[in-house]
Amino acid sequence: MSDENHTERWTTGMATRRSVLGEAYVDRAVARTTPFDEGFQTFITEGAWGSVWSRPGLTKRERSMITIALLAALGHDEEVAMHVRATKNTGATAEDVAEALLHVAVYAGVPAANRAIKIAKAVYAEGGTED
């Protein structure tokens, strides 16, 4: 997944992905890429990061809170933890995350919010960093 032979959207996406998740996290993900998942990695880099996360309509802080709420509602625990860690780069505070998870409780259910709150608390207790 080197930068050569990729689209402009991939390049934009990789820059956004690095700014949100951190250099070390993305470097590890890139290093683990194999021919099996290279297409998937390109898809998420171009689609999620190069298209949605790179749009000008919302701040990274706002996108971060929305993403955490959606992941919590869907029960994607590892992704919740990853995106809570990423708040150090997006500007979303622990208070922002707590508010987003209150919305999850109302609109997606208390069990989903309760699980995500436990995950967020664990991330913050460990220092909240991925690097």
Q: Identify whether 130 is part of a domain.
A: no
* pTM attached to this predicted model: 0.91
Amino acid at 113: A
CATH number of domain containing 76: 1.20.1290.10
What is the chain's mean pLDDT, rounded? 94
pLDDT at site 4:
62
Domain with 100, as residue range(s), is 60-125
| Nearest by Cα to 16 from 68, 65, 53, 58 | 53
The 10s digit of each residue's pLDDT in 48-89 is: 999 999 999 999 999 999 999 999 999 999 999 999 999 999
CA–CA separation, 67 and 112 (whole Å): 14
Q: Identify whether 36 is part of a domain.
A: yes
Q: Are residues 48 and 66 in the same domain?
A: no
Model confidence band, residue 131 (pLDDT cutoffs 50, 70, 90): very low
Q: Are residues 114 and 72 in the same domain?
A: yes
Number of Cβ within a 10 Å radius of residue 64? 24
Q: Are residues 65 and 114 in the same domain?
A: yes
Total number of domains constituting the chain: 2
CA–CA separation, 105 and 113 (whole Å): 5
